[in-house]
Amino acid sequence: MTRVVLRLGDDVSTDAIYPGRFMATVLPGETPRHCFADVPEFGRKLRDGEIGSGSVIVAGRNFGTGSSREQAASCLKGWDLVVIANSYSRIFLQNAVNLGLRLVVCPGIEASEGDELEITQEAVVNKTMDKTFPVQPLPASRQAIVDAGGLITYVRKRLMEDAAR
């Protein structure tokens, strides 16, 4: 069971997730401190440890629209957040998969901040509302990369397996 810590609408841009003024900071260990920098209360809760690993951001359609900045996915991954959205922009989705950010495609998701969710491969169950929403699974190849923790880890593992044969 996990909790919704931020509810957003449609067309959340990468600039809202990771503002462009912080683009000089690109190291994955440094990007999390600028996550949603223009939502000060949320950022404070992250930095103060009030938001735990595996907490959920819920959004509408086209999450991650805008630039191709990888830092938008990196800063979310740094806090080990899960994003549930109706849909994702193409570039953000691929960046998130490559970094191993946990994403759930769930058209029609209904949830508010504070709601308790149960996430399975088939559905998101909003325990607070007593409603179930079907999930559109990622293609198996993309899910394998996310499950491995990102593209680099996935490739390294595959190379090691091949070398062992």
Please list the residues that pair with 134 across neighbouring strands: 123
CA-CA distance, 153 to 147, in Å (whole number)? 10
| pLDDT at residue 99, as a whole number | 95
Percent of the chain with pLDDT over 90: 87
User: Model's pTM, two decimal places?
Assistant: 0.94
Over the stretch 113-147, which tens digit does the pLDDT of each residue have?
Answer: 999 999 999 999 999 999 999 999 999 999 999 99
| pLDDT at residue 162, as a whole number | 87
- Give the lowest-confidence range in 64-68, 82-86, 142-146: 64-68
CB 127 within 8 A of CB 107: no
Closest CA to 151 of 100, 101, 102, 103: 100
The distance between the two most distant Cα atoms of the chain, rounded to a whole number of Å, is 52
Please list the residues that pair with 37 across neighbouring strands: none
pLDDT at 153 exceeding the cut of 80: yes
Mapping DSSP to helix (H, G, I), strand (E, B) and coil, where does residue 116 land?
Answer: strand
CB 59 within 8 A of CB 12: yes
pLDDT at 26 exceeding the cut of 80: no
Structural domains present in the chain: 2-164 (3.20.19.10)
- Local confidence band at 25 (pLDDT 50, 70, 90 cut-offs): confident
Compute φ and ψ for 126, nearest 5 degrees. Answer: -90, 100
Alpha carbon of residue 134 to chain centroid: 18
122 CB-side CA count, 13 A: 1
Q: Which two tokens stand for residue 37?
A: 């920098």
CA-CA distance, 145 to 153, in Å (whole number)? 8
Q: Which two tokens stand for residue 142?
A: 């993309």
